[in-house]
Structure 1
Amino acid sequence: MLIDELVTTSAAVAATRSRLAKIDALAELLRRLEPDEIAPAVGFLVGRPRQGRVGVGWRGLSAAVETTEAAASPSITVAELDAALDRIAGAAGTGSSGERARELRELLARATEGEQHLIAGVLLGEVRTGALAGVLADAVARAADRPAEVVRRAAMLSGDLGETARVALTGAAGELEAIGLVVGRAVQPMLAATAGTPSAAIEQTGEASVEFKLDGARIQVHRAGDEVRVFTRNLADITHRVPEVVEVVRGLPVDRVILDGETLSLGEDGAPRPFQETMSRFGAENAREAVLHPWFFDVLHVDGRDLIDEPLAARLAELERIAPGHCIPGEVTADADIAERVSREALAAGHEGVVVKSIDSPYAAGRRGASWIKVKPVLSYDLVVLACEWGSGRRTGLLSNLHLGALDPTGEFGEPGGYVMVGKTFKGLTDELLRWQTEHFPEIEVRRTANTVFVAPVTVVEIAIDGVQRSSRYPGGIALRFARVKRYRDDKGPAEADTIQTLRGLLRG
């Protein structure tokens, strides 16, 4: 199949707001793929090629596109694009940058303008269909005539929608249903909704485990015998960067286990150090100044027994048995007063707040629902930087005021999978962040005016707000109230940003 057919189908999906029409278009495409094309094509559609990051950034890609004339007619097949990414990813050693640039130019020279846009999106993880992975999973179910829930579960537990699609469309009877947890293979983490107070959260969940919300980095740890692997929330393998976490898990009284938790640095007084110090360990290959301590709040598998479908109460009992010294503090209660007290204790200890989890809830991999609810004293949301304005006064010469966008997965207020501007802010920016912004944003610039640098929507920033208000200024109909920067989230991708629908939901409050 030519990748031009992916371009055409992606355009058709983006042009309609009908979920059924999107599913039909994608299912029809999937049925025409050859068996060995299925996994690569799905990876291209969701912006996650099987090669992962191949060493091509925005600047190198922009330079290649600007100096390469697009082809007049399509000729690149799915298999050829997959092979080209293999070669680009495999370039190593002296001269590898030049080799990657040459391969990229040769690929782009064979691509039409539409295909060039698709290739750019694949390389940067910014294919618009990527925000519609749920729709694509339903399309796989439609094309394969399989139950949608079975396809979604297999994709969540395997962490690979492309391979799930291949099995669904070509596998033997029962093969799709047999996909489950595999120790050593990362799964999508369960996510939490947001509430304003612990009392409000308890009202939604009923009896719950009210746990400290640590200001750390999410980790998923797998152990099989002496082999331990540690993954981030984005499923990146960082085992070699966190030897102290590996050592702790090797010391647990189990042979095979999958744990979910957080890790962070502590000061000499036992209080948590700033989030940036924890993240510096994730981003550096050899940094050892900050020692990381792991805390676990869930267990998905223990010694041959999958626990994801068991209630949280059973999972917590098992976690306490195998890792009693590394469980996140918390209490099980249905009493709002107790939940409020635990929240005050968490804040007094220097943590962010609490997470309130229904004691009866299973582990819903990859889902954000009402079973887990995070509560912070100030509302905060993960948004995407769309542009940055040049500062004035003492900030002259520095990029300062951020344009902030929320994800619009359904296209209710614009392009499906695009970002809807919801406000601006320069508050909370330290001198260090101002310098960083001024260096970083021109590297991902897409265009500029006299006062503003518009950037690729790939940078996630955590913004604290006091709420939202109705506004006709922005297309989503709302504006942030008293927005200020908390931190940049290097551990999150733009597809994980909070949605415009979530922010609009605050109006009801």
Structure 2
Amino acid sequence: MTGFIEFARACKVIEATPGSLDMTALVAELLEQVTPEELPVVTHFVMGEVFPAWSSEEIGVGAGILYNALAKSAGLSVSDIKELVRETGDIGETAVRALKKVSGGQATFSSFLDSSDELSIIEVFERFKAISKASGKGSQTSKIKNLQYLFNAASPEEVSYIARLAVEELRIGVGEGIVRDAISRAFDVPAEYIERAFMLTNDLGLVASTASTEGRNGVLSLGLRLNRPIRMMLAQVTPSLDAAISDIGIVAVEWKFDGARVQIHKDGDNVTLFSRRLENITDSLPDIVEAVKENVIADRAILDGEAVAIDENGRPRAFQEILKRFRRKYDVQSTARDIPLTLNLFDIIFLNGEELLDLPLVQRRARLAECVRSSDKIRVDTQYLTDDPRKILEIYNDALKAGHEGVMIKNPESAYSPGKRGKNWLKKKPVMETLDLVVIGAQWGYGRRTSFLGSYALACHDPDTGLFLPVGRVATGFSDEQLAELTELFADLIVVESGTEVEIKPEVIFEVAFEEIQKSSNYESGYALRFPRLVNVRADKSIEDVETIGRLEEMYLMQRERN
């Protein structure tokens, strides 16, 4: 059984290594050294996560719980911990400094333990699992006690990475791209096999374990599984309808509904619904569950669609109304009556044991139409095949008149690519272009807004390193009511606070409109947004949906070509 100390030492070396190729080699070496039982755990740990993205398990440790656990472990006050956080700017270094202190004769760290009592990787994981299962009355106390045990049993080398993992912020620069290539290198399986298996399972830990024990053939055999959600295929903005036709030729055109994405898994009479964040929202949407049971003829299927909240005139309600349905845990039936939903289906990726991802879109749509009976609650949305700009413009205008966002323009021959954003799916909306960016920091306001977080630092994502790269701040588009709600939302996500500046755990997504992307040396991404403003808080999206640095570069070049 491998000690957690070995993982911590590997992380320290990786963190100090600048090149992605060298980092990949170090991660591959780490994966080769651990046991088969430890391999899936380490694969997730090294990316700064405890559980796979599809899992409903969440560690659920915010700054408050972590500070309390550190304070109790070190015999300090929570105020002392907060002061250390302000000094260090890093929760890992804070943990090291706090636990090196001695208060009231209390000793810390594991130098007083027998060497046979050293923490193992699996023991750390099991403690995190216990933390994730704590619920109801006394759950906070249980989480703190489990963290206390880890902190008091850990060495100085280990405690920094335990603290970071507890808030799933490892910060060593390892993302999915590096781990994919490391698995390929460690177990001699082509990177494209690893990538496809990851697309189908949404679990690099499972892929690594399979590559280790079953090699290439095992990885190739990995596929879709009912009730294990996969990432949804994404679209990118097209500058114009003419540009979309130029890129694709004959296109498949659909309305872009003003709703929230839903992935539906049907297994006989069991229906499970997942949000875009891959959260299980089945209990919140009983009307959609019933509509699927009654109108989807297939025995086993995975469907992709958009849930739209409808008002008394048959027009879409505001996006925030939909989120009320998704978040609802109590009085679900009455909320369903007050905010009825319609499910518009537009794709199918699994049908009665057959994976359909590699089929062309037109063939998938035909299979979808065959297994769905349309009703007032569920329908297969209308799709048009055309290369006539006037027809597309007509569809676009009809969608806007009906209160929706615009149109989706798709390549009829395209496969379904989970989690990928490319030119096979394009979207056209009349508003300013928007980006989905993650909030990584904020600033306390001034004047009458001193009690609100009022200026938010935004970042895009580098999928290779897993890092979030700043692109600027947004401080407009907020009402006082919104600022109060957001300040409360971010309260448990604050990692470091120094003066008026606050560092926030990257979890909340802002949809931000902007006038222009500019080159900038002021931000780590190399880009800045001109005149950004908040459009929506996208509670339906996760950090996997954050725009990548590659996407910003592409949009910048497209912008230059247009100008």
TM beyond 0.5: yes
* d(CA) in 2 for partners of 1:158, 1:263: 24
Pair 472,316 (structure 1): closer, same or farther in 2 beyond 3 Å = same
**Offset at 1:394?**
4.6
Q: Which residue of 1 aligns with 2:70?
A: 65
Given the alignment of the two structures, is residue 119 of structure 1 paired with residue 162 of structure 2, yes or no? yes
Deviation digits for residues 144-183 of structure 1, max 9, x if unmatched? 1112222222222122211121111013773322211223
**Offset at 1:310?**
0.6
CA RMSD of aligned residues (A): 2.4
Match of 2:315 among 260, 271, 290: 271
Pair 148,457 (structure 1): closer, same or farther in 2 beyond 3 Å = same
Given the alignment of the two structures, is residue 505 of structure 1 paired with residue 548 of structure 2, yes or no? no
CA contact (8 A) 1:196 1:376 kept: no
Match of 1:371 among 421, 424, 436: 424
Deviation digits for residues 306-327 of structure 1, max 9, x if unmatched? 2111100101111222225312
Pair 238,368 (structure 1): closer, same or farther in 2 beyond 3 Å = same
Given the alignment of the two structures, is residue 476 of structure 1 paired with residue 530 of structure 2, yes or no? no
In structure 2, give the amino acid aligned to 1:269.
N
* d(CA) in 2 for partners of 1:116, 1:213: 48
Q: Which residue of 1 aligns with 2:402?
A: 349
In structure 1, give the amino acid aligned to 2:44.
G
Q: Which moved more, 1:439-448 or 1:458-467?
A: 439-448
Q: Which residue of 2 aligns with 1:420?
A: 469
CA contact (8 A) 2:311 2:339 kept: no
**Offset at 1:457?**
2.7
In structure 1, give the amino acid aligned to 2:416.
Y
Q: Which moved more, 1:214-223 or 1:365-374?
A: 365-374
SS at match of 2:439: strand
Pair 379,10 (structure 1): closer, same or farther in 2 beyond 3 Å = farther
Match of 1:182 among 217, 221, 225: 225
Match of 2:209 among 166, 184, 204: 166
Given the alignment of the two structures, is residue 401 of structure 1 paired with residue 406 of structure 2, yes or no? no
Deviation digits for residues 270-297 of structure 1, max 9, x if unmatched? 1111111111222221242322221111
* d(CA) in 1 for partners of 2:408, 2:158: 44
Q: Which residue of 1 aligns with 2:21?
A: 20
* d(CA) in 2 for partners of 1:454, 1:172: 42
Q: Which residue of 2 aligns with 1:413?
A: none
**Offset at 1:17?**
4.9
Given the alignment of the two structures, is residue 231 of structure 1 paired with residue 232 of structure 2, yes or no? no
* d(CA) in 2 for partners of 1:219, 1:283: 14
In structure 1, give the amino acid aligned to 2:245.
I
CA contact (8 A) 1:46 1:127 kept: yes
SS at match of 1:199: helix
* d(CA) in 2 for partners of 1:92, 1:442: 20
Pair 376,76 (structure 1): closer, same or farther in 2 beyond 3 Å = farther
Pair 8,344 (structure 1): closer, same or farther in 2 beyond 3 Å = farther
CA contact (8 A) 2:189 2:216 kept: no
**Offset at 1:194?**
2.5
> Percent of aligned pairs with the same residue?
35
CA contact (8 A) 2:173 2:467 kept: no
* d(CA) in 1 for partners of 2:172, 2:501: 28
* d(CA) in 2 for partners of 1:119, 1:356: 46
**Offset at 1:93?**
4.6
Deviation digits for residues 392-434 of structure 1, max 9, x if unmatched? 4553433212222222344xxxxx4333322222211122211
Q: Which residue of 1 aligns with 2:511?
A: 462
Deviation digits for residues 228-253 of structure 1, max 9, x if unmatched? 11112232222111111111111222
CA contact (8 A) 2:297 2:373 kept: no
**Offset at 1:462?**
0.9
* d(CA) in 1 for partners of 2:130, 2:326: 27
Pair 48,446 (structure 1): closer, same or farther in 2 beyond 3 Å = closer
Flag the structure with larger Rg: 2
Q: Tell me how many residue pairs correspond in the alignment.
A: 504
Pair 292,12 (structure 1): closer, same or farther in 2 beyond 3 Å = farther
Q: Which moved more, 1:94-103 or 1:168-177?
A: 168-177
Moved over 6 A (4+): none
Pair 89,392 (structure 1): closer, same or farther in 2 beyond 3 Å = closer
Q: Which residue of 2 aligns with 1:261?
A: 305
CA contact (8 A) 1:442 1:453 kept: no
Q: Which runs of 5+ in 2 are unaligned?
A: 74-98, 101-108
Match of 1:206 among 249, 253, 256: 249
Given the alignment of the two structures, is residue 359 of structure 1 paired with residue 417 of structure 2, yes or no? no
Q: Which residue of 2 aligns with 1:435?
A: 484
**Offset at 1:257?**
1.1
Q: Which residue of 2 aligns with 1:105?
A: 148
Matches within 5 A, 1:143-154: 143-154=186-197
Q: Which residue of 2 aligns with 1:445?
A: 494
SS at match of 1:362: coil
Q: Which moved more, 1:489-498 or 1:440-449?
A: 440-449
In structure 2, give the amino acid aligned to 1:264.
V
Pair 218,115 (structure 1): closer, same or farther in 2 beyond 3 Å = farther
Q: Which moved more, 1:380-389 or 1:259-268?
A: 380-389
Pair 492,123 (structure 1): closer, same or farther in 2 beyond 3 Å = farther
CA contact (8 A) 2:436 2:509 kept: yes
SS at match of 1:102: helix
Match of 2:367 among 318, 340, 343: 318
Tell me the TM-score normalized by structure 2: 0.83
Q: Which moved more, 1:280-289 or 1:86-95?
A: 86-95
Pair 76,134 (structure 1): closer, same or farther in 2 beyond 3 Å = same
Given the alignment of the two structures, is residue 305 of structure 1 paired with residue 354 of structure 2, yes or no? yes
CA contact (8 A) 1:53 1:123 kept: no
Given the alignment of the two structures, is residue 41 of structure 1 paired with residue 42 of structure 2, yes or no? yes
Tell me the TM-score normalized by structure 1: 0.91
CA contact (8 A) 1:190 1:363 kept: yes
SS at match of 1:104: helix
SS at match of 2:150: helix
